Structures are given as C-alpha cells and as structure tokens.
Structure 1
Amino acid sequence: MSAASCLLNEDQFLCPICLDVFTDPVALPCGHNFCQKCVTQHWDASDLCQCPICKKVFSTRPELHVNIFISEIAAQFRQSAQQKASRNSSPEKQVFKPGEVFCDVCTETKVEALKSCLVCLASYCKTHLEPHLTAPTLKKHQLVDPVENLEDRMCTKHNKLLELFCTNDHTCVCMLCTVLDHKFHHVVPLKDEYEKKKAELEKTEAGIKENIQQRQLKIQELRRSVELSNENADVVIAEGLKVFTALKGSVERGQAEFIDSVKEKHRKTEEQAEGFVKELEQEISELKKKSTEMEPFLHSEDHLQLLQSFHTLSPTPAVKDWAKVRIHPPSYEANVCDAEESFSKQVKKLFADAKIKKLRRYAVDVTLDPDTANPKLILSDDGKQVHHSNVKKNLPDTPQRFDYCGNVLARQSFSSGKIYFEVEVKGKIKWTIGVVRESINRKGQVPLSPQTGCWTICMRNENEYKALCQTHLSVPLKSPPEKVGVYVDFEGGRVSFYDVGTAAHICSFTGIFCLGKVFPFFNPGPSLGGKNAAPLIICPVNQSE
C-alpha cells in the first residue's frame, strides 16, 4: 500500500458525481469512471444517455461492469481513511451521501441501513436487523424501507407514534390525540387511509395513463390523416395536371379552329370584294374607251361632219346598277359563341372523364351469385352476365333466392369505404341495377326504394329512366347510356350512377346515414319477345383509361 500511495492520490479515486471514494466503480466507453449507482441514477433522471464529464452521447445505454482493480484500490483508500479517523482523538463527523440512511446501532463505521422500524423509530443494517427477524416480539414490529428523520413520525404534542389519520382535519394523529384534541373526530388507522389514498392515486395514475394513451393515439391518427391528405393531394394534383394539360391542348386546338373559322369568313368577304372591284374596273375601262372614242366629236364644230359620222360611233357599253351593291362585314359573334359552347362542352367532358377515372380507383370485382338468382334467369359461367329466359328452371326454393321477381345479387358484399363497378346495358330497353341491403325481401313482389333498403335506377320502356323511390322520379337523359357506373360512398352516405360513355352524372341518392352491408343488385328485365334479350354485363374496369 505504501508503494501505491507514492504513485497514486486519493483524489484520483473520487467519483465526479458524489465526490466520494468510488463504490463499485465502472468505466464508460469514453474512459471516465464513476460509482455504478451514481451514473445509473444520473441516466435515470435524464432523457439522454451521456457521460457527465465529456458529454459524449451513447445511442444505447452501455452495459456496466464493476472494475475490480479500481474497486480494490478504492477500498484500500477507504480503509486507510477509516483507520486515520479512528486514531484521531476527535474524529470528524462521518459524511453521508444525500438520501442515504445509515444504521443507528453501528458505533464506529456507519453501515447503510437495510430497514427502518416504525415501532423502535430506528434504522438497522443487515447485522443489527437480525433480532427483528428472529425474536417473536420484535417480529411484530412494522418494518419499512429505510427512511430519514424517524422523529418526524412522532406526535410533537404527545411524543407518541403517528399511527392514525383524522378524516375531519386531514392530518395524522397519535392515540392520545383521539381522546383529547380529536375526541369526536372520525379517525382511521394510518394503513387504511394510506391504502385509500394509494388507491385514489393509482386510479388517478391509471386515468392519466389512459389520457396519455388516448392523446398518443390521437396524435397518430392526426399524423396519419396528414399523411393520407398528403397522399391524396399528390394524387389529385397529378390528376388535375393531366386534366389541365388536356384542357390546354383542347384550348389550343379550339383557338386554332376559332382563328381559322374567322379567317375563312374574312377570306370569303375579301374574295367577294375583289370580284366586285375587278368587275367595276372592267366597266371603268370600257367607259373610258367609249369616252376616248367620243372625244373628237365633242370638240368638233363642223356640223355636217358630226352628223355624217355620228352613226359610226359604237353603242354605249351596258353597265350594272351598283347603287344597291354592298359588302356587309361578316359577323364573328357566331364564331365566338360556337367556340365558347365547344370549349364549355370540352371542359365539362374533361372534368367528367377525370371524375370517372377517380371513381375507377375504387373498382371492386363483382360476380353474380347463382344461389340468389330467380329460376328464369340465365347466368354465364364466369358470373359476369345475366339475361331473362321464358323457361323456369327447377331450382331449390332457398330463403336467399328471389322466387317472383327476376332479380339476382352479387356474391360480394360491402359495408365500408368506397366501391365502384360498371354494368353494360347496351341493346336493352328494360333493366334495373344498383345496391340493396342483405335484408331485402326475396319472396313475392319486391318494392324497390330506399325505405326498403334498395338504391336502384331503372330503364322502363324506351329511353324512360327512373330513380326508384316510393314515388319514382324521372331522370332525363340526352342519350341512352351503353354502360352505367355505380358508385357507393359509405362514409359520405351516397349512392351515385354515371353514364360511363359520356362521363355524365345520372343521379344520386344522398343523406344515407347507415348504409350497412349491401350487395350489388341486377334485374335484366323480361325478354319481351327478344326485344330485350341482350344480357346485363358486369364489365372489367380499366383504371388506366
């Protein structure tokens, strides 16, 4: 030890945090040493895991191991310091670390306490705690983790242990307090009030944790909403750019056509004027020639000669009466109106096409369910076509089958999000399509209306279209659709129908607060002697169109 003392100084073995000789010294990856407990507590109280000296940040908390060599040297320094203190006639007071509780029985070197006794009002190390663990009378004492200032647990007025709680004054009291100052108050054992308050704290803590969790989930929800908004914004911007690019091309073509039509009108006016000018110039030339021929006779003063030669003059050329001839500047207003109408139609068509393209993002695969089909319906093998037959097949009359009306449902059902599918109705003069709830009546006459859980449109007679409600509403269409798109927005409470060919909106059912579980619905209508023999066809949706 003497050799080590010559080379080493005690200051080299002091922890930079507690400023005491190392206890269980550990080395960090950066090379600095600390007490294991000190650096662990330092990290527990900090958001960052870093060296208290050089501030180097560690991405993960280093695994700490006690340095046995430094620990042994530190122990020797500590033992040497204790020996010096024992030889000193007036030893200095032992320095305790903040928050540490030491054994009240130890006389020389104080050892850290293991437990405190609330009856003895003293703290004991492992050795001096032994009687409390073995002696029958002492085993009844209440032991707790080491606490400082046990005298604070005594009633200052009666010098008795504070072991009761007054619920009237909300204060801790001793046994004598209950017969004197708090005689008529309601008092309970300290443990009971402790458990009650602890239960309240646990409940409050649980509520706080739940609130934290709810808010964390809300943060995630909001961030996800922003992400979805960003994704949707990118998609919409891309689609909008395509629309406006097409619109720009359409405007440029329309502009060129407009300019050409105006120039053509001007050219025809110019040609007409030039024709008149040439005709006038020709007449002027002939008239000048006649004037030149007449000039000698006009200047002659010989009566005989004028009269004898007069008959030799050529006749005066015939000329047009130009008094009523006019060139009216053409009106270009019609060209402007035509261009405006054409541009308006093109804009509407472009945005309608963009709308259909957007709806096609929600396309779903739909196939017909033969178990629901009326016995007079003929379904294709792939479940994509249906038409009516006058021959009734012998099929089991199950609860899910339509027995009277020529209806059939899809195999697939939907209850959330947005869906879209397209049905070809080309060549038909009677049909009904839409979506219906699973609870739709399958037997007998089936009334179709939103009140019965059905959102459908139909073609009745030729070019007569209706939205099927309690009172059927006529839907005027400029031309019969060849393909109908069906769009369902569950969150928005909307069922809409579109003419896919013209991208025109046909009609919508709105304000549907609870669509629930729905199935695509089809009725191809009766054959009508072959006039309505064409099938309803569920078309594949091309999202790239």
Structure 2
Amino acid sequence: MAGPGCSPAVPVWLTEDDLGCIICHGLLSWPVTLPCGHSFCRHCLTHLWDSRDARRRWACPTCREGAAQPPRLRKNTLLQDLADKYSRAARELDADPAPAARAAPPRVVIPKSLTEVGEELTGLVQQLVDIVRSLQSQRRPLEPGPDGGLSAEGAAFSSGVDLSLAAPTHVTSSASEGKMGDILCSLGEIQEKLRESFKWKEAPEEQTRVEVPEAPSTSACPLPNQNCPAPKRASRFAQWAISPTFDLRSISHSLWVSEDQRTVTVSHHPQSYPWSRERFSISQVFCSQALSSGRQYWEVDTKSCSHWAVGVASWGMSRDQILGRTTDSWCVEWKGTGPLAAWSLGKQTLLDSDRPGVVGVWLDLEEGKLAFYSVASEETLLYECEVSASSPLHPAFWLYGLCPGNSLTIEQGKF
C-alpha cells in the first residue's frame, strides 16, 4: 500500500514521437502550447514565425489556425516535466542496458540474402514432400502383408506413430493414391523452379534492393549463368518517361536528399540549408523541372514512407500551405490510416484503392489532364482530374509526420 502523500506508479509507454516537436523532430524543449492545443519548442516556433510572411505569421504549423497578434507563449510545465523524465529514463537505459534486456529487448531484424530465402523456401517444400509421403504410407489399409505381418500403416500404428494428421475419413481407394502422386509431382516441379529461379535472380552482396524473383525466360536468356538483366516492364507511358530531381531551393529543413537528388528522406535533425524565401516551412519539396507543355510521366516509390503525398504544383504555391489544399496544387495522399485520398483545388476525394507501393504520375498539358496510377505489373488508374497550364507545374512531395528515415524515391529507367 502506498504511504501518505504517495500515489501508485502506473506504467505508461511513451515514444519520442509522443513528446516530439513537429518542427525540429526532437524532444520538446521549453514547450509552449498554442490556443488550438498543439505544442512546439518555443525556439522552433518563433524561428519559424520569423521566417514567414506577415499574412500567416502567427499560424499554427499543424492546423494553420492563426491570430492577428502574436499569442503569449507560456511554458507548458507538464510537457516539460514529461520530456525531462523521458530523457532521464533514456539515459538510464543507455547506461544500464540490463533493465531493458529484462523487459522487452528490441527485435533486430537482419535482412536475409536472396540465396538464404531461396534455401528456406526449398526446405519448406521438402518438408511438404515428406509429409505427403508420410500420409501416403499411412493411408495403406490395415491388412496382413504377404508374409503375414502388418502393412506399412499397421506397422506404423502398432509402433505408436501418431496418425492424427491424416484425414478423418479412411480413404484407401486408388483415386486417393493418384491424388497423392499428383501432389508429389507438383511439389517436385515447385522445388526445381525455386532452385532455378533463385540461382537466376541471385544478386551481388553489395546490392541493397532485393527484387522479387521471377522464373527465367528461356527465349531471352537460355542459360542462367549468362547474368542477363531482368526484362523491363512494358509501360504505355515509356516514351514520355522523365526522371525529375529534387530542388534544394524549396526543400524543407526537415528533409535531406541523396547525392543523385532522386531520394528525399525525413531527417533526424534539422538541415542547415541557406535561407531562401522559396523554402517550405513544412516537410515538402518540389522538383527542379518546370513542366509547361507536352506530356510527361514519372514514377515514385512510396514503400519506405508511412505518410506521404505525391503530386504537382505551381512554383508560386504558398510555402506554408500543404500540397493539394491550394488552387494551384494536386496530389494523391496516404496518411497511414484510412483510405487513399486525392486532393484537387483544395477538395478531398476518397479513393477505393489500397495503398500503392509505386505511384505513376501522368501529366498531359496538351489536354490539361493529370492522372495518378498504382504501378505493379501494369498501371492501374487511381484518380484523374483537370489541371491548369497557366503557369509551369513542378513535381511536388509531402512527407508527413515525425518519422525520421521515411523516404520517397523517384524511379528511373525501369519502365
């Protein structure tokens, strides 16, 4: 029983995201809470407001609720206390890993090579073969053999073998035996295809992306050891395909790009980009390419991002607005939960579609059309709308949420 003045400790599971600042992606420091209820680091919020134009200077970075005058920023002592306790607990765990080990150690998943995956699948098929053969022998009738002893099934029964995996009905017909034989033949074919396929698709050790293995095409590459590249997907948009690159003038401080400027990632720490009035105040970025005529198509890999929006916008889009919420931006959006959505001219349309792993964007400025596709073995239309070509449009992206490491990649040369 707790003593006077004490209250029982209730375990509460918190992550850094629960006490994080959406601007700097770190733990709240000197947290302040705006009238709308959202909280931020005081320094981050005032720095963001100082970089904005006067129209929406005092708006909340999360919900955009604003005020004509700067609100009084008072320290939220409860949030500060929680953030301090979280920091102390994290330091204690780093100093003494034993309690963490006694609780629930984090699972470390080591990626397997393609060869290891192939060997495991082949082993599983072999287990199925053994099971079918065992069932085949167990289904033989319980009758004396030519020498007066029991048949194979009878011997198994008398020796205590568990036959509970067998079917509830005792099938001894030749038809059942035929089905068993067919199953064994099919499993044998699967084994052989697995061996050939994984040998054919085995990637070098330095390759970081693993492609789904496919059976080799004997017409294109008759011998597996020729190391022929996998055939490209035949896309109806291939002749209009482009590979845009991210624009460093517009990129938010919370994002960074790869050396080839085709992968954008949510950073663990704010980036020290030079000041620019073209820079987004939230986790968004444009591509450098200004598209003002003709037809273009590009694809974006979204599999490494849990919250994202992919679309197009004019260069004049307000840098503190969200993609799709303005009259000069359009996108499809996935926010981790709920259905996929499309945004056009500030209006949302819910889409009857699963989350696409790759999004194809088709921009036809000759017809004034924009379409989004889910890309797998072929392109499946997600949403189509009209766009205005009064000003050039740029590929645009939003990586939402406190999820450092989330990334989007513009595909090239695969369609």
| Structure number, greater radius of gyration | 1
Normalised to the residue count of structure 1, the TM-score between the two structures is 0.32
Higher RCO (CA 8 Å, separation ≥ 6 residues): 2
Structure number with higher helix proportion:
1
